[in-house]
Chains A and B, each alone.
Chain A
């Protein structure tokens, strides 16, 4: 028993079983408010950025607020989903996880069905819905995968201190199937996030060290081999490597990287001010309402504003890690680890690419970028974190 769980379990035993009403009260009282406030702050900040980025957009010449409206509708759907994820019964969740997993893999496959699948920016990762809406199933796949791995790697937690090799291999297979599909979709961004989640969850599950080292080494090797064998298409390599020297080919691969850097660099200490960024308002940075949304913060709110944005994300990560550490059981801890790693890698990759230290991939900034599916998935992630916390009868905060 770890020191954390030992302390908390003593407390658990003395606490009497409470009524339903008391449970409802406790839900609101024991909720991680800091996490919630930080996530809400990011959503508000993000909405302003999306508004600024899209008001002069060519896609919406008639209604300059149409993008913002769509974004807010996404938020409106995402919040109840997050609430649901925080209230759903743990045992129920564990029981239905395999079904959720299978459904999510099938949804991924739907993107290959002609007439349903849709290609955006080279990635065939979307499903077309009625009324012109689109859905990116891989966003939910990440959640399904986290839940599935958590189930597999926490099964035998009571007797053994570490998962058996069989469990690790099984969880790798479970991860490999959607990963292969995501690769086929050309969704490079998600394909980078999934392995990071897998490695973090396996590591925290207590699996033998050689698994962790082996997986990290294997991941690096796989990227090198993929480039070497030309498995990645030329444009993928160009997009991945253009961040090293964006000025070299300003018109093509490096264009995004270059324009993004001009926007952020120009922001200086305090930025041009809302709606004043020349790069933002002139639409020089592509997709700056979603993947490149951070450039708007950089240009219009400067170092001060964008640092606040990063710190808010930092708060989310800090609370997430704390929830993982204080989790009562391995299942909860692994769910928290998976969610928090997912947020962290997406944040680093997304902001890193606008700053020119990471390759350019199509990946949204959690809570901030416009994009309904990502927003829903992120709030489900928050819901799951809160759920884990509420199941841990530890100290508040």
Chain B
């Protein structure tokens, strides 16, 4: 044979050798150099999770009564993987199911579609869980129906009936507490994104419901517990090839609150009464709030907001119409800690404390004229009453504006008047901040409003943020308005010119307005309650707390929340004592006398201050009634507020009295502690007992509040 043939066969051999080397090289690269990435890809390919949600923890009131509980609901689920293995993708199964459950087939089919796929209806109709997760298609199925389905397993492959926990609101004593408790909603995209880099088994999943507001949101991770997760290895057909990991669900812990549902019910009822009283006087009385706190530790015993909503509406998903209605009624936010209101005369305790701190005489005489003329402006007393020369204590009792105008005016002049430096003292605003007004209280509820205190600083900050607009308007001169009303445009332009030039200046009028809680000042009723509690307890501003403890479903105390001192009020002791001595006089001889007529004040002194805060324009004033009691040995601070509600004493006062009657067990002139709405006539110290089966022990009979 030719040498050419030999050579060519050798070349063929060499080509084969190079092919072998190529394969080995590529193999080495794939397996040894980049193998890890493929291992991860393989793991993602084959793992499937079956998630059993944990029972969500209960929320209890201080006596152990459930404010939020769970009820079991029979849920029928459909496993789509099993369905797809049936002829016609399980059309027969669905038809049978539709008949058994009395639901149209289309509804079931809509439910089985994954959200975002073609033809899927928007949530909550479509399924936004995992492809592998059985889809719940009917809730609250009757036991007999479920049993029938389970007996005919052969006819209903992939169909399952199981018990699922659903939130219920036992509403002891018909209390509502919607704004404290909050509601649940599907987990949001942001929450999922925030956890997107964790692969931990107890991470949030798309099917999870989480607390969206109130305690449900604030203590969500405590209440939620840890889901049971079974991790399975599956093949392409979805058949299980092995169990990789199995974890039983850990039920969520309970939150024990300091709320007393019986007191809460009284407060809610009394808030509605106050609103009705306002409306009876011809005022709109469109919203209101009431807060009861324990002045000794900052526990929130009751907190109500008007208008409110039915928390049941959120269970099982809210429809678009229902949501729009809720938004319309403005009942979703709590006025008690999310709304800001001018405090009016209830703020005078702050001005008085500032006066004491600044060395003004607390026992001296002050002039209380009908009106005070300062420059070109005239500042009047409420209903233009004059009391002549009176003590500061009396000025609080009768709520004399002009006395505080005078004090504020002197403070303003001392600070340098119109030429005051940026750092000049602003004693009233500083005192307000010390009492916790104009800042978040730190209550354990989400979405709290911060508030603001009219002050030299606030005015400058406000000017800095609005200056550009003001100055631009001053130059442009409101061309649009000018076409219709040149005079109005001139007025606006002049105003903005002035604001642009020195809108930062803390003027005499600003200082005077601020002293009686008018102007830019806005506080929440909860802040006001904490400030009055601080007066009651001698100067400690507590951080209000709704939750007292976290308890496991077996009754073990996991966390006991100790009272948190937010700040100490830095005013002389004498000043604090002055306020403590003066405020009971408001109830006995001042603006708070009327609503407390006939109340056994000799046994239970009530320290109070009324407020009728003027808001812009001709709107009726905000009716405030801030108080604490007993005056001698203070326990509770009660604050109520009704917007566009009239005077503090006429609208809110009578309701606050009723709340005290309920707290102390007052009937007529008698104080009968056994008739107090609180068990043992005092906020409970011990935590409620939880039975081994997870049900809380709470008072029976008259004190139960829950229909048995």
Contact surface of A with B, Cβ cutoff 8 Å: 1-5, 56, 58, 157, 161-162, 200, 203-206, 212, 259, 261-269, 278-279, 281-284, 298, 302-303, 306-307, 310-311, 313-314, 317-318, 321, 324-325, 327, 329-330, 333, 337, 340-341, 344, 347-348, 351-352, 355-357
A residues near B2, Cβ cutoff 8 Å: 2, 161-162, 206
Asked whether A268 lies within 8 Å of B4 as measured between CB atoms, the reply is no
- B6, B26, B46: the one within 8 Å of A325 (CB): B6
A261 touches B38 (CB 8 A): yes
| A355 and B9 form a contact (CB under 8 A) | no
Q: Is the CB of B12 within 8 A of A282?
A: no
In the A-B complex, list the 10 residue pairs whose CB atoms are closest, starting with the nearest: A265-B38, A282-B235, A321-B13, A268-B35, A266-B42, A206-B5, A266-B38, A303-B31, A161-B2, A348-B19
- A266 CB contacts on chain B under 8 angstroms: 35, 38-39, 41-42
Which residue from chain A places its CB closest to the CB of B43 in the assembled complex?
A278
Q: Closest approach, in angstroms, between the C-beta of B21 and any C-beta of chain A? A: 9
Q: Is A269's CB under 8 angstroms from B31's CB?
A: yes
- A317: nearest chain-B partner, CB-CB: B16
- Nearest CB on A from B577, distance (A): 77
**B131 at the binding interface (Cβ < 8 Å):** no
Q: Give 10 A-B contacts (CB < 8 Å), ordered by A residue.
A: A2-B2, A157-B1, A200-B12, A204-B5, A264-B27, A265-B41, A266-B38, A278-B45, A340-B12, A352-B26
Contacts of B86-126 to chain A: CB distance below 8 A: none
Do the beta carbons of B35 and A344 come within 8 Å of each other? no
From the candidates A157, A325, A352, name the one contacting B9 in the complex (CB within 8 A): A325
Task: Report the Cα distance A58→B238, complex, angstroms.
Answer: 11
B27–A262 CB distance below 8 A: no
Q: How far is the CB of A45 from chain B (nearest CB, A)?
A: 15
Known contacts A278-B45, A282-B45, A330-B5; A344/B19 CB under 8 A: yes
Known contacts being A2-B3, A268-B39, A303-B32, is A284 close to B9, with CB within 8 Å? no
B8 proximal to A (CB < 8 A): yes
Give min CB distance, B138 to chain A, whole Å: 32
Q: Is the CB of B20 within 8 A of A310?
A: yes
Distance (whole angstroms) from the CB of B3 to the closest CB of chain A: 6
Residues B1-56 near A (CB distance < 8 A) = 1-6, 8-13, 15-17, 19-20, 22-24, 26-28, 30-32, 34-39, 41-43, 45-46
Q: Is the CB of A278 within 8 A of B237?
A: no
Asked if B27 and A204 make an inter-chain contact with CB atoms under 8 angstroms apart, the answer reads no
> Which A residues are CB-close (under 8 A) to B35?
265-269
Closest to B1 in A: A2
Task: Tell me the bound Cα distance from A314 to B27 in angstroms.
Answer: 15
Chain A residues with Cβ below 8 Å from B5 are 2, 204-206, 330, 333
The verdict on A355 contacting B237 (CB below 8 Å), with A267-B35, A333-B5, A337-B12 known, is: no
Most A CB contacts (10 A, CB to CB) among B2, B19, B37, B42 go to: B42
User: For the complex, would chain B's binding face be called helix, strand, loop or mixed by DSSP majority?
Assistant: helix
A203 to B15, CA, bound (A): 13
Please judge, given known A-B contacts A282-B233, A344-B19, whether A56 and B32 are in contact too, CB under 8 Å.
no
Contacts of A318 in B (CB 8 A): 13
Interface centre among A56, A311, A330, A344 (most CB of B within 10 A): A344
- For B20, what are the chain A residues with a Cβ–Cβ distance below 8 Å? 310-311, 313-314, 317
> Does B241 have its Cβ within 8 Å of any Cβ on chain A?
yes
Complex interface: chain B residues within 8 A of A284 (CB): 42, 45-46, 235-236
Contacts of B241 in A (CB 8 A): 56, 281-282
In the complex, the answer to whether A333 meets B31 with C-beta atoms within 8 Å is no
A298 and B9 contacting across the interface, CB-CB below 8 Å: no
Taken together as a complex, chains A and B put the C-alpha atoms of A282 and B37 apart, in Å, by 18
Q: Is B234 an interface residue (CB 8 A)?
A: yes
Question: A262: which B residues are within 8 A, CB to CB?
Answer: 38, 41-42, 45
Q: How far is the CA of A2 from the CA of B233 in the complex (A)?
A: 62
Shortest Cβ distance from residue B263 to the other chain A in the assembled complex, whole angstroms = 60
In the complex with contacts A281-B235, A282-B45, A282-B46, A357-B16 CB distance below 8 A: no
Q: Is the CB of A58 within 8 A of B4?
A: no
Cα-based distance from A161 to B7 in the complex (angstroms): 14
Given A278-B45, A355-B26, 20 other A-B residues pairs in contact with their CB atoms under 8 A: A3-B3, A4-B6, A58-B239, A206-B1, A264-B38, A266-B38, A268-B39, A269-B32, A284-B42, A284-B45, A284-B236, A302-B31, A313-B20, A317-B13, A318-B13, A325-B6, A333-B9, A341-B12, A344-B16, A347-B23
Q: Chain B residues with Cβ under 8 A from A1's Cβ?
A: 1
Contact among A264, A265, A321, A356 for B37, CB-based, below 8 A: A265
**Can you name the residue of chain A whose Cβ is closest to the Cβ of B242?**
A281
Q: What A residues does B16 contact at CB under 8 A?
A: 317, 321, 340, 344
- B234 (CB) vs chain A CBs: closest residue: A282
* Chain B residue at smallest Cβ distance from A344: B16
Residues of the B chain whose Cβ atoms lie less than 8 Å from the Cβ of A283: 235-237
Give the interface centre of B11, B31, B38, B46 by most chain A CB atoms within 10 Å: B31
CA–CA, A356 to B38, complex, Å? Answer: 14
The answer to whether A306 touches B1 (Cβ under 8 A) is no
Contact A306 B9 (CB under 8 A): no
Q: Whose C-beta in chain A lies nearest to the C-beta of B44?
A: A262
A206 and B4: CB pair below 8 A? yes
Q: Contact partner of B39 among A265, A310, A333, A347, CB < 8 A?
A: A265
Bound: A200/B9 CA distance, A: 8
Interface 1/0 per residue, B219-261 and A, CB below 8 Å: 0000000000000011111010100000000000000000000
How far is A262 from B6 in the complex, measured between Cα atoms in Å?
A: 42
B4, B11, B15: which has the most chain A beta carbons within 10 Å? Answer: B4
Contacts of B46 in A (CB 8 A): 278-279, 282, 284
In the complex the two chains form, what is the Cα distance from A327 to B239 in whole Å? 55
Q: Are A264 and B31 in contact (CB under 8 A)?
A: yes
Nearest CB on A from B503, distance (A):
61
Q: Contact check, A330 vs B1: say whether CB atoms are below 8 A apart.
A: yes
Question: What is the CA–CA distance of A384 and B20 in the complex, to the nearest angstrom?
Answer: 23
State the CA gap A284–B31 with chains docked (Å).
18
Q: Which residues of B contact A325 (CB under 8 A)?
A: 6, 9-10, 13
Which residues in B have their C-beta under 8 angstroms from that of A263? 38, 42
Q: Name B30's contact: one of A261, A282, A311 (CB within 8 Å).
A: A261
Choose from B8, B19, B233, B239 the contact partner of A278 (Cβ within 8 Å).
Answer: B233
With A and B bound together, what is the CA distance between A266 and B40 in angstroms? 8
Q: Once the chains bind, are A204 and B45 in contact (CB under 8 Å)?
A: no
- Report the minimal beta-carbon distance from A342 to chain B, rounded to whole angstroms: 11
Shortest Cβ gap from B81 to chain A (Å): 14
Q: A85 CB to closest chain B CB, in angstroms? A: 21
A87 CB → nearest B CB, Å: 25
Question: A279 with B45: in contact, given A266-B39, A267-B35, A269-B32 (CB under 8 Å)?
Answer: yes
User: Roughly how many angstroms separate A245 CA and B45 CA in the complex, as a whole number?
Assistant: 19
Given A269-B32, A284-B235, decide whether A351 and B4 contact each other with a Cβ distance below 8 A.
no
In contact, B42 and A348 (Cβ under 8 angstroms): no
List residues of B (312-368) whose CB comes within 8 Å of A's CBs. Answer: none
A140 to chain B, nearest CB (A): 23
Known interface pairs A58-B237, A282-B46, A314-B20. Does A265 touch B34 (Cβ–Cβ under 8 Å)?
yes
Nearest-Cβ distance from residue B190 to partner chain A, whole angstroms = 29
Give the distance to chain B from A330, nearest Cβ to Cβ, in Å.
6
Q: Whose C-beta in chain A lies nearest to the C-beta of B237? A: A58
Query: Per-residue 0/1 for B518-553: is the Cβ within 8 Å of any A Cβ (1 yes, 0 no)?
Result: 000000000000000000000000000000000000
B32 contacts A333, CB within 8 Å?
A: no
Q: Are B23 and A355 in contact (CB-based, < 8 A)?
A: yes
